[in-house]
Amino acid sequence: MKTSRWVISLAPGVIGIGLALYFFLSYDASHDHIVYLRADLGALSLLFGLGLSILAALGFALWGWVEQVRQKAAADAAEERRRFLRRLDHELKNPLTAIRAGLANLTEVPSEDGRRKALASVEAQTLRLSRLSADLRKLAELEVRLVERSPVDVPALLHEAFSMAQEQPGAAERHLNLSIPQAPWPLPNIQGDPDLLLLAVHNLLDNALKFSRPGDTLELHAFEDGAEIVIEVADTGPGIPEEEQPHVWEELYRGEAGRGIPGSGLGLALVRAIAERHNGRVSLRSRLRQGTVFTLRLPAGLKQSVTDQTQPVSKV
Amino acid sequence: MQPKPSILLVDDETAITDNLAPFLTRSGFEVAVASNGEEALEKVATGHPDLLVLDVLMPRLDGREVLRRLRQGGNWTPILLLTQIGEAGERAMALEEGADDYLNKPFDPHELVARIKAVLRRARPGQPPLSASNRLACGSLILDRVSHRVLLNEAELTLTPKAVMLLEYMLTHPDELVSRERLLDVVWGWDYPVGTRAVDTRVAELRRALDDDPGAPRYIETIPGQGYRFVGKVETLP
């Protein structure tokens, strides 16, 4: 394969040189117009041949590069798939083990109280599996479903997400702050699906609540940055180790600290999918033992014009 | 004593039929089981059940095909589809092709019983269900389910797609208490922590557009702590 590429690349050059030599060598001294033409033909065929060679070589180089990129992408996708399956397997194993143990207890434990406990545990584990399956479906559906484009009132959305966070378990032991700029002008609308965007902010806050400790501070801010609306959820929690940071947005990923914490491991993956469906992006900055800030950037919608009839639908 | 309603439960997973059939029997139904589409068609022809609980994904003849063949043959036995994929397309298909209702797997068996009872109550023997009709009307409110347009007093309303889906579900299930969780499942296909508020937002949007007073509703009534109910009289239009 490789040699054939070399042959194809070099052939035009060699033929060009050969033709040029032939034209030059067959040059005789008679001052004829034809001779000049033959000399020019030599130069021309040399140039043409070498040019074709260079083009062919460049073409092959580009082709090879594209091929390499494609192979790398395929290998990455395969690796991602393997990783996902490994995590899914792990995620299924624990509840299934618990269910089997619970069922064994059900048949063997003599006391009524023990049986009731076993039954409750089996039920809790099946609910956990149901939630996992529901979350997986959400992710799969998010990738294909049509995303609604309505004007979304960002401050109203943030207030709603914030008030829900305040009702969450553990919220009372943490300091929760919300800051939304009023000056120099209020935040513009986002064009999008109000329910999905609310879910994204909710998941970020939920995540921060889960991974911070009592006494920590949680902040939800939003501001305008050029053509984007930036929504940040910051905490003074334990922080995320540097090697784990690129993975936290992945499906079913659990960091070292996340082992004992309940949840499907899909919350942040959902946030990323929602951001991407809105042409936005997610990122994070974190320092160990200091805290983490999760950032959601979304393109600001057009300013509401007079002809815009639809009202923001996320008004509380 | 009234005869028990008879139900044909169709699913290829014996793990599901083995556990659901006794549960349904205990809930007061006469239960027969079929494990694939062909068997289901045979048992419908011979046993005339009052209702079918039909799984979509099955070998040989899937639930969708069973539904289509029954409806094309003019058989309007109420059908409750068990959908699995949870895609919006699957749910839309279920109602468009004449299923009376559907439930996403995995579900709570109590919810299945509630759905079955609601469908049986609504069923008009031998007649197509509201969900098989392309155009529905409630007074001057008209829903065209093919073009997804809503007309009120002959003027078209501007509604978000989800509000239209919500209205569609309410109109095809009149006089039925529909929980927020159920509406969430119908319109979004999945439940999530912020969901029940999202339902309230869409209902508020519908009420604004329909000029419906929650205090004296013509269309959507709030049942405090439980959900919503469509109170208007729904008719099918040709």
Domains in chain A, number: 2
Could you say which of A145, A167, A188 is where a domain stops? A145
Token pair 């099946």 is found at A126
ipTM given for this complex? 0.72
What B229-232 contacts at long range (C-beta under 8 Å, 24+ apart), as own/partner pairs, is: B229/B175, B229/B176, B229/B177, B229/B178, B230/B138, B230/B170, B230/B171, B230/B173, B230/B174, B230/B175, B230/B176, B230/B178, B231/B174, B231/B175, B232/B138, B232/B139, B232/B141, B232/B174
Residue A305, domain member (yes or no): no
pLDDT band of residue A314 (cuts 50, 70, 90) is very low
ω into B22 cis (within 30 of 0): no
**What average pLDDT does range A234-251 have in this prediction?**
92
pLDDT above 70 for A50: yes
Residue A102, domain member (yes or no): yes
CATH of B6-122, picked from 3.40.50.2300, 3.30.43.10, 3.20.190.10, 3.40.190.10, is 3.40.50.2300
* Whether residue A137 is found in the same domain as residue A214: no
Q: Can you name the residues that pair with B37 across neighbouring β-strands?
A: none
Q: Which CATH number is A291's domain given?
A: 3.30.565.10
Instruction: Report the pLDDT value the prediction gives residue A316, as an integer from 0 to 100.
Output: 36
* Whether residue A89 is found in the same domain as residue A227: no
* Whether residue A137 is found in the same domain as residue A186: no
Note whether B190 contacts A: Cβ–Cβ < 8 A: yes
**A148, B160: Cβ pair inside 8 Å?**
yes
Residue A315, domain member (yes or no): no
Instruction: Report the pLDDT value the prediction gives residue A38, as an integer from 0 to 100.
Output: 67
Phi, psi of A192 (to 5 degrees): 180, -165
Structure tokens at A248: 């936290």
Residue A311, domain member (yes or no): no
Distances (CA, A) of A218 to A155, A163, A174, A233, B10: 18, 13, 7, 7, 51
A173-207 in b/e form (b: 16+ CB < 10 A) is ebebebebeeeeeebbbbbbbbbbbbbbbbbbbbb
Report chain A residues whose CB lies below 8 A from the CB of B189: 137, 141
Q: Mean pLDDT over all residues of chain A?
A: 85
Domain boundaries along the sequence of chain B: 6-122, 133-237
**B194, A195: Cβ pair inside 8 Å?**
yes
* Whether residue A139 is found in the same domain as residue A164: no
Span of A103-107, A136-140, B112-116, B163-167 with lowest mean pLDDT: A136-140
What is the interface size between A and B, counted as CB pairs within 8 Å?
55
Instruction: Report the pLDDT value the prediction gives residue B132, as an integer from 0 to 100.
Output: 77
Note whether B88 contacts A: Cβ–Cβ < 8 A: yes
pLDDT band of residue A17 (cuts 50, 70, 90) is confident
pLDDT above 80 for B149: yes
Q: Ramachandran region of residue B34, left (φ > 0), alpha (ψ -120 to 50) or beta?
A: beta
**What average pLDDT does range B156-176 have in this prediction?**
88
Residue A310, domain member (yes or no): no
* Whether residue A19 is found in the same domain as residue A34: yes
* Whether residue A154 is found in the same domain as residue A140: no
Span of A34-38, A277-281, B172-176 with lowest mean pLDDT: A34-38
Which residue from A150, A198, A199 is facing B160, i.e. has the nearest CB? A150
pLDDT above 80 for B4: yes
**Which residues in chain A (71-110) have CB-CB distances under 8 A to chain B?**
none
pLDDT above 60 for A313: no
Out of A189-193, A301-305, B159-163, give the one with best mean pLDDT. Answer: A189-193
CATH of B133-237, picked from 3.40.30.10, 3.20.80.10, 2.40.10.120, 1.10.10.10, is 1.10.10.10
Mutation target to probe the A interface, by most A beta carbons within 10 A, among B87, B166, B194, B201 is B194
* Whether residue A4 is found in the same domain as residue A110: yes
The pTM for the full model equals 0.73
pLDDT band of residue A183 (cuts 50, 70, 90) is confident
Instruction: Report the pLDDT value the prediction gives residue A306, as an integer from 0 to 100.
Output: 32
Instruction: Tell me which residue range forms the domain holding A240.
Output: 150-299
